[in-house]
Amino acid sequence: MDLARSAETPSPDALPCADGKLGNYLSGDVPDENKWADCVHCGLCLEACPTYLETGHEHQSPRGRVHLIKAVAEGKIGLNESFMDPVFTCLDCRACETACPSNVQVGGLIEEARGQVRRAHPLKGWKGWVSRFFLHGVFPHPGRLEMLGKGLRLLKRSGLSSFARRIGLMKLLPSQLEEMERVTPIPGLPVRKKLPEVVPARGKRKERVALLTGCVMDAVFGDVNEATVRVLTRNGYEVHIPRSQTCCGALHVHAGDREAGRELALRNMEAFSDADHVLVNAAGCGCAMQEYPELFREDPALRQKAEAFAEKVMDVSRFLTRYGFERPKGEIRARASYHDACHLAHGQGVREEPRWILRSIPGLEWVEMANADRCCGSAGIYNLTHPEMAGAVLRRKMEDVPEDAELIPMGNPGCMLQMSVGVLREGRRSKVVHTMELLDRSYRIGDREGKEASSCSDGKSGGWILSSGN
Amino acid sequence: MFGRKKRRLDPLIRQLMEWVGETNVLYRREDLVAYECDGFTLKKGEARAVVFPADTREVAAVVRLLHRENVPFIARGAGTGLSGGATPLGGEVIISLVKMKKLLRVDLDNRIAVVQPGFVNLKLTQSIADRGYYYAPDPSSQYACTIGGNVAENAGGAHCLKYGVTTNHILGAEVVLPDGEVIRIGDEGIPDMPGYDLLGLLTGSEGTLGIVTEITVRILKAPQGKQTLLAYFDDVEEASRAVSDIISAGILPAALEMMDRTAIEAVESANFPVGHPLDIEALLLVEVDGIEAGLKSQVEDITELCRRRNVREVKTARDEKEAAAWWANRKTGFGAMGAISPDYLVQDGVIPRSTLPEVLGKIREISRDTGLRIANIFHAGDGNLHPLILFDERKPGEKERALEAGSRCLKVCAEVGGTITGEHGVGIEKREEMRFVFTKEEIAAQIRLRDVFNPGNLLNPGKGFPQPGRCAEVKQEIKERRMAEG
């Protein structure tokens, strides 16, 4: 089958304003020439790239991928399967962007190329079904997400899942899904359900902020969202949770479905139009929202609107360090080693802020992780689509996680699940937590008089329940 | 299904797969496109396949096979070279050594380390830094380049002024010769073996004499102290004279680097800016190291010498972090060109230090004549110039003008008594320019030497020496291009 299509093939979803054709790309929303013009092929990105480190293959490296994206534009190769593989094997972790001397936006280029590939070759069969089910049927619909969370809660609470595991039913699932199920916590109630649309600040109001609750975050880690809201309100911030907000679209854009990404972006820009600050506690979502302008490259008016919106989006840890937070007083006696989520460190340049916050917690013993900003292999749904590579990347990551770390804090739900799988696979005792959970925990311990000991160095860190619900 | 596919495969690919395994051979067009050049992007060619051997035995087997089948082949490391040494000209099998990336042994008593060729340069220092040791040669690409590649190119780096280039740090090597025979040269702990210095010959042979599969290198004790200085000048000539003054005053800095205005513009608009003023004409980045007690006076002497040359400002790095930022800014300088220009061509001339102002003047003339901007980053201390010629390949004629400008820069270097490459190698890029420094007879003698090791010229053919009749080829190529462009 000749998968290469000529640029003449009219594309049904070409943007109205775009008539630009480029080599073998479909017309409209083509990868941005200026982005690869920045690349001089120096190769300093190679050692930063997890997939290059695993394969040693140039076409699985940042500069190799950029070279291929350029080669399609030059008409040297087609928009075919062999092009698809490197473009989709990329974790989109952006480590190369940190290493790159000349600021090549590799992530943006990859996402644009994926858009092209998916338009030329829509996913078919069960893969297409699964992808459509989640990306279109679930994530953009908060109600259905809630149902999913509810189902998960029921499964976990009722003991059904452990029963199913005991009788071997779970073995029917692909192993990575089975592990994922095991490490998924009993989901708390989503804050969209539990909390009012406006949560008042404790004491005098300093700022009004809006919170993106996220999809996975709210459905699976509702407790993290709740902790985030508690942290914000106690620091004098009034938290708005707009009901009309929706999925940020990161997963859609990563999967090459840019049209859906645009729709969701527009909905969110509308939902948060009154907000002064749009706070996010999921690295991937924050990064995607800051990159909304990329989705509207070909529409100057929307692009401008998206740029104004992106300016307001900020990771919650950065917001707290910029606008101020009360020093936590509750002691947490544990050894902690922080993992930089790619889309925080490489994507948003948020590195020091979570560290400042965590290091302000009394009792916390700090162990800096080697290569803390190296990808864990989660990368959205990459661990499901590329289990082997994700597994290899995770193995390498776990080598860098100090064996004696009791807590592994981080700022992204995808990483939390993946790192928990890592902990499970290696038989470690560390507990994966969100930065906001720890800060909230410390505040609450501090509030309780007598500072009851919360030592998890007694070997029971695994049983440490962060959100005790009181 | 796969079996059928396999039967259709080129029999050579199938045989290669038998030696190294199916997943360690790339042969599809799309996969090979990424290997069509290295860090020198002006010339590209298509390889026939890329193989990834896991050890010396596999390298030898692959080489024996290719030798028997009379198929040309190239060894490749990270592909960060800047003269096209790892670029295929068409039809070669690339032997990529990136999967042979182990640090085999560290012997602190004898101050040596043994590495596989794919081991990344910087990793060596990182692996021994906690014990107070380091590996001295530090090419700017050290974040990614491999020690095998460093041996092939005899790589230099900022600190070569005091510590010497790669050849001064290689003590032994295991080599697969172009017919597949495996030999060892050098002996660890013995500084000089009787007989010819084969190790010296091998280092810098640009992958034309053999493929190194194991390397014994010298490691050094990290100096007790280090000071890093920045000096900003309003005049390039004054800066160049300050360089000569420092050296002739008997000070031997570990590194003495210079960047001109255009280079500063690039690094400051790229990913690792440190806040250099944009209105200066040149800066010097100087590092002195050694016994702590002696450093202060060296810093004072250098500062004074710069003052005499009307420096605008001299400052010393407050701490290691600041010094590291200055170095990251400098070392990513080539890549930073991407921030101000779509393409660049870097040259690598060497000149007597005293001719620096004259040569810089001539480079400015070349820039004017060709209408292309030229940035200058160089290891000023040892007179190793890196003019970076900025161009846009998409604009018709610019690539040709860039090549012409590059060649003219090298001509200038040769004319003032220097030479055409200090550390990047000849590769594809400077083949013709070899004529600036060698006579026909001298070139022929070198080719005869290559033939002793590589008689069939199967290993990295077409590199390092002028090609017979190349001139006619180039004219033909330009003619064809013009016709194609209509």
Residue labelled with tokens 């035995």? B57
Give the pLDDT score at B36. Answer: 97
Residue for token digits 């055409």? B420
Q: Is A43 in contact with B141 (Cβ distance < 8 A)?
A: yes
- pLDDT of residue B301 exceeding 80, the answer is yes
CA-nearest residue to B392 within chain A is A37
Q: Which residues are within 8 A (CB) of A87 and not within 5 positions of it... i.e. 6 or more apart?
A: A65, A68, A69, A110, A113, A114, A117
Is pLDDT of B428 > 90?
A: yes
Shortest Cα distance, chain B CAs vs residue A371, angstroms: 12
Q: Do A101 and B80 touch (CB under 8 A)?
A: no
- The reported pLDDT for the residue numbered A467 is 38
Tell me if A68 and B30 make a contact (CB, 8 A cut-off).
Answer: yes
Mark the ranges of chain A whose per-residue pLDDT is less than 50: 1-18, 453-470
Which two tokens mark A194? 């539990």
**Residue A457 CA, distance from chain mean position:** 30
Listing DSSP states for A2-19 in one string gives -----TTSPPTT--TT--
From A200, A58, A35, select the one nearest B33 (Cα to Cα): A58
Nearest residue of chain A to residue B338 (CA atoms): A38
Nearest residue on chain A to B120, alpha-carbon basis? A47
d(CA A414, CA A377): 9
At B26 the pLDDT is 96
Amino acid at B105: R
* Of residues A39, A44, A68, nearest to B33 (C-beta): A68
Give the tokens for residue B26. 């790339």
Token pair listed for B247: 């050296």
Percentage of chain B beyond pLDDT 70 is 94
- Which residues from chain B sit within 8 angstroms of residue A64, using beta carbons? 34
Q: pLDDT-derived band of residue B481, with 50, 70 and 90 as boundaries?
A: low
**Phi first, then psi: what are they for A158, rounded to 5°?**
-75, -10
| Contact flag A44-B143 (C-beta cutoff 8 Å) | yes
* Nearest CA-CA distance, residue B102 and chain A, Å: 13
Q: Is B385 helix (H, G, I), strand (E, B) or coil?
A: strand
Contacts of A56 in chain B (CB under 8 A): 52, 96, 98-99, 101, 118
Query: Quick check: B296 pLDDT over 70?
Result: yes
Residue of B nearest to A66 (CA): B34
Which residues of A touch chain B, with CB atoms under 8 Å apart? 37-47, 56-59, 61, 64, 67-68, 71, 76-77, 80, 82-83, 86, 98-104
Domain residue limits, chain B: 2-96
Distance CA B443, CA B466 (A): 8
User: Residue ranges per domain, chain A?
Assistant: 33-120, 125-183, 191-321, 327-462
Query: What are residue A445's phi and psi, to 5 degrees?
Result: -65, -45
Q: Cα(B428)–Cα(B473) distance, rounded to whole angstroms? A: 14
Q: How far is B137 from chain A (nearest CA, A)?
A: 17
pLDDT of residue A1: 35
Tokens of residue B388, six digits: 């970076």
Judged by CB atoms closer than 8 Å, whether chains meet at B30 and A80 is answered as yes
Nearest-Cα residue of chain A relative to residue B272: A101
Task: State yes or no: pLDDT of B2 exceeds 60.
Answer: no
* CA–CA dist A112, A134 (Å, integer): 21
Task: Please write the tens of the pLDDT for every residue from B74-114.
Answer: 999 999 999 999 999 999 999 999 999 999 999 999 999 99
CA of B271: which chain A residue's CA is closest?
A101
Please tell me which residue of chain B has the smallest CA distance to A72.
B30
Closest A-chain CA to B143: A44
Task: State CA B196 to chain mean position distance.
Answer: 26
Identify the three-state secondary structure at position B104: strand
- Which amino acid is it at B457? N
Q: What are the φ and ψ backbone dihedral angles of B287, each rounded to 5 degrees?
A: -125, 130
How many angstroms separate the CA of residue B95 from the nearest CA in chain A?
12
CATH number 1.10.300.10 given to B2-96: no
pLDDT tens, residue by residue, B429-442:
999 999 999 999 99
CATH number of A327-462: 3.40.50
* Closest Cα in chain A to B38: A41
Residue pLDDT, tens place only, B358-406: 999 999 999 999 999 999 998 998 899 999 999 998 899 999 999 999 9
The verdict on a CB contact (< 8 Å) between A68 and B34 is yes
Average the pLDDT over each of A275-279, B27-31, B180-184 and give the range with the smallest value.
B27-31
A43 contacts on B by Cβ (under 8 Å): 38-39, 78-80, 141, 144-145
User: What is the average pLDDT score of chain B?
Assistant: 93
Q: Residue A59 and residue B80: Cβ atoms within 8 Å? A: no
What is the side-by-side strand order in the sheet with A198-199? A198-199, A237-240, A207-212, A278-280, A313-315
**In angstroms, what separates the C-alpha of A376 from chain B's closest C-alpha?**
21
Greater confidence, B215 or A465?
A: B215
Chain A residues whose beta carbon lies within 8 Å of the beta carbon of residue B74: none
CB contact under 8 A, A44 and B80: yes
Asked if the Cβ–Cβ distance from A42 to B29 is below 8 Å, we say no
| pLDDT > 90? residue B459 | yes
pLDDT band at residue B331 under the 50/70/90 scheme: very high
Chain B residues with beta carbon closer than 8 angstroms to that of A42: 39, 80, 141, 334-335, 338
Residue among A383, A386, A338, A391 at smallest CA distance from A360: A338
Residue A459's pLDDT is: 38
Rounded Cα distance, A3 and A366, in Å = 52
Among A150-159, A179-188, B287-296, B413-422, the least confident range: A150-159
Substitution target from B82, B271, B389 for chain A, most A beta carbons within 10 A: B271
C-alpha torsion sign, points B408, B411, B415, B417: positive
What pLDDT is attached to residue B72? 98
Residue length of chain A: 470
A&B contacts, CB < 8 Å? 109
- How far apart (Å, rounded) are the C-alpha atoms in residues A420 and A398? 10
Residues of B contacting chain A (CB within 8 angstroms): 26, 28-31, 33-39, 41, 50, 52, 78-80, 96, 98-99, 101, 118, 120, 141, 143-145, 270-272, 332-339, 342-344, 392
CATH topology of domain A33-120: Fumarate Reductase Iron-sulfur Protein; Chain B, domain 2 (1.10.1060)
Q: How many angstroms separate the CA atoms of B251 and B245, rounded? A: 9
A186-190, B53-57, B284-288, B402-406: the lowest-pLDDT one: A186-190
Burial class (CB in 10 A: 0-12, 13-18, 19+), A273: middle
The pTM (predicted TM-score) of the whole model is: 0.90
CATH architecture of A191-321: Up-down Bundle (1.20)
Looking only at the bridges linking them, the beta strands covering B103-107 and B374-379 are unpaired
Task: Give the pLDDT score at B191.
Answer: 67
